[in-house]
Amino acid sequence: MSLCSHKFSNCSLKCSRTTSVTCRASSQKSHEHDIFKKMSVAGSAAMMSASFLLTSPAMAVLNEYEYSMGGEFGNGTSMQYGEADIEGQDFSGQDLRRSNFTSANAKRAIFKDANLQGAYFIKAVTYKANFENANLSDVLMDRAVINEANLRNAVLTRAVLTRSDLTGADVEGADFTNALVDRAQQLALCKYANGVNTLTGVSTRQSLGCGSMRKFRASAPSNPEGPQVSDSEKDAFRASLPVYRK
């Protein structure tokens, strides 16, 4: 077959009918590459436009507004004291809503009259801490050490106190309405809980689901405040015992 001369956009050669088909395929691939290149350029332009929108003045104002609203630890009222040593520190009257005290050493810390709504005290040690008149509603205080803490007149509505140790805590006037307290802790507190919360008007015993004060006191063995046996009853019991020797 005689050779013929063909010219394409990307090749110029003498070819037969077979090589002409190959050259056309190469030209088509080059055209597809040009289309892909144009699409890549368009995509890059779109990404640049999106980046510009994200850094626009309107977005900056929105971010500033959200920052001022708080919500993250370290912003607004949400302070970060996780695992911190705050033993004996005074937080009286402070607004510490949603603050984090997880695993903190808060022995003898003073939170009197503080607003701690929604705060985190998970695994915190608050031995002999002062929470008198504090707002502890919605706090997460599970697995915490609250031995001998002052909870007088504190509001603990909806607080989570599961697996926490409240041994010896002063709960006079504290409101535990809808709080989650372990059964063993509830029974222990009901032996001496009393008073009425001055803010909510709720009885401490009622909020803990306690029954009769006499019933809970009598449940403790050798409790000097429980029902006592009279001397005449003791004498009658002794007289009923068999006598083996005289």
CATH of the domain at 208: 2.160.20.80
Task: Specify the range with the lowest mean pLDDT, choosing from 10-24, 38-52, 120-134.
Answer: 10-24
3-class state of residue 181 by DSSP: coil
Give the pLDDT score at 97.
Answer: 94
Per the domain annotation, does 159 fall within a domain? Answer: yes
Q: Residue 119 is encoded by which pair of tokens?
A: 């705060």
Using an 8 Å Cβ cutoff, are 211 and 202 in contact?
A: no
Radius of gyration in angstroms for the set of CA atoms belonging to the chain, rounded to a whole number: 39
220 secondary structure, DSSP code:
S
Per the domain annotation, does 117 fall within a domain? Answer: yes
- Mean pLDDT (the chain, rounded): 78
Give the pLDDT score at 241.
Answer: 74
Per the domain annotation, does 83 fall within a domain? Answer: yes
The residue that leads in pLDDT, 244 or 17, is 244
Average the pLDDT over 157-185 and give the result.
Answer: 95
The residue that leads in pLDDT, 238 or 94, is 94
Task: Report the C-alpha gap between 123 and 81 in whole angstroms.
Answer: 13
Q: What is the pLDDT of residues 64-119, one digit of tens each?
A: 554 454 445 555 578 899 999 999 999 999 999 999 999 999 999 999 999 999 99
Per the domain annotation, does 2 fall within a domain? Answer: no
Give the pLDDT score at 49.
Answer: 55
Concatenated DSSP letters of 153-174: T-B-TT-B-TT-B-TT-B-TT-
Q: Residue 159 is encoded by which pair of tokens?
A: 């607080």
Percent of the chain scoring above 90 in pLDDT: 53
88 secondary structure, DSSP code:
T
Q: What does pTM read for this prediction?
A: 0.59
Per the domain annotation, does 11 fall within a domain? Answer: no
Per the domain annotation, does 105 fall within a domain? Answer: yes
Count of domains in the chain?
1
Q: What is the pLDDT of residues 174-197, one digit of tens each?
A: 999 999 999 999 999 999 999 999
Per the domain annotation, does 49 fall within a domain? Answer: no
Per the domain annotation, does 130 fall within a domain? Answer: yes
Give the pLDDT score at 231.
Answer: 81
Give the pLDDT score at 177.
Answer: 95
Give the pLDDT score at 225.
Answer: 53
Average the pLDDT over 121-134 and give the result.
Answer: 97
Give the pLDDT score at 12.
Answer: 46
Give the pLDDT score at 11.
Answer: 47
Average the pLDDT over 220-228 and give the result.
Answer: 54
The residue that leads in pLDDT, 118 or 18, is 118
Query: Model confidence at 33, in pLDDT bands (50, 70, 90)?
Result: low
Give the pLDDT score at 64.
Answer: 56
Structural domain of 150: 58-220
Query: Model confidence at 227, in pLDDT bands (50, 70, 90)?
Result: low
Using an 8 Å Cβ cutoff, are 104 and 87 in contact?
A: no
CA proximity to 151, closest of 119, 122, 167, 173: 173
Using an 8 Å Cβ cutoff, are 217 and 191 in contact?
A: yes
Query: Model confidence at 124, in pLDDT bands (50, 70, 90)?
Result: very high
Task: Report the C-alpha gap between 189 and 39 in whole angstroms.
Answer: 72
